[in-house]
Amino acid sequence: MLKKMLENNINVVNEVSNWEEAIKIAATPLKEGGFIKEEYIDAMVENVVKNGPYVVIMPGLAIPHSRPEDGVLKTGMSLLKLKESVKFPEDKDVELLFVLAANDSNMHLQLISELTNLLMEDDAMEKLSSAKSKEEVLACIC
């Protein structure tokens, strides 16, 4: 399910100027695909400003998200891969952003669980970080 969800929602970008921009670009496919409203993107940025960079759940990887009521239309997930990492607050380097939008807990948890499985594999981060194109990124996700 994760692979299917991400198929059309992956972007690979060389670099971004700041973490806010990273979240915006990462979330664009979700907005265009009708998963979220524009305001959800602002809410995600706001969330990091307010609560600190806890969305950086492991070195190099962030999962920007906010609450369902902040503008989620349907459950979805998108991925942004940066070739040059960007700094989140507190100097946290991030090169992968998985944007989460949750509206339905079953499907959301299923996606989360698959994502967790992927990230718990020892070499997952290495593979993802060396991927250079949408196709290569997608190949890492099974």
Partner 1 sequence: MEKKNMRSKVQAFGGFLTGMVIPNMGAFIAWGFITALFISTGWVPNENFSKLVGPMISYLLPLLLAYTGGKLVASERGGVAGAIGTFGLIVGADIPMFLGAMIMGPLSAYIVKKFDEMIEDRIPTGFEMVINNFSLGIIGLLLCLFSYSLIGPVILQANKAITVVIEGLVKTGYLPLLSVINEPAKVLFLNNVIDQGIYYPLGMQNTLEAGKSIYFMVASNPGPGLGLLLAYSLFGKGTSKKTAPGAIIIHFLGGIHEIYFPYVLMKPKLIISMILGGASGIFTFSLFNVGLVAGPSPGSIFAYLALTPKGNFIGVITGVLVATAVSFLVTSLILKSSKETEEEFEESVKKSKEMKQEGKGVLNSALEQNEVSNSPINFVAFACDAGLGSSAMGASAFRKRVEKEGLSIKVKNFAIEKVPEEADIIITHKSLLDRTSRAWPNKRIITIENFMKDKNIEKLLEELLEKKQKA
Q: Which member of 65, 94, 131, 141 binds partner 1 (CB under 8 A)?
A: 65
Strands (E) in the chain, as ranges, are: 10-13, 56-58, 60-62, 76-88, 92-101
Q: Which is nearer to partner 1, 59 or 133 (CB)?
A: 59
Please select the residue that binds partner 1; options are 37, 53, 136, 138, rule is CB under 8 A.
53
- Residue 119 vs residues 16, 38, 60, 92, 105: alpha-carbon distances, Å: 24, 28, 12, 18, 20
DSSP character for 49?
Answer: H
Which residues between 91 and 130 bind partner 1 (CB under 8 A)? 100, 102, 108-109, 112-113, 115-117, 119-120
Q: Note the residues at the interface with partner 1 (CB under 8 A).
A: 47, 50-55, 57-59, 63, 65-68, 90, 100, 102, 108-109, 112-113, 115-117, 119-120
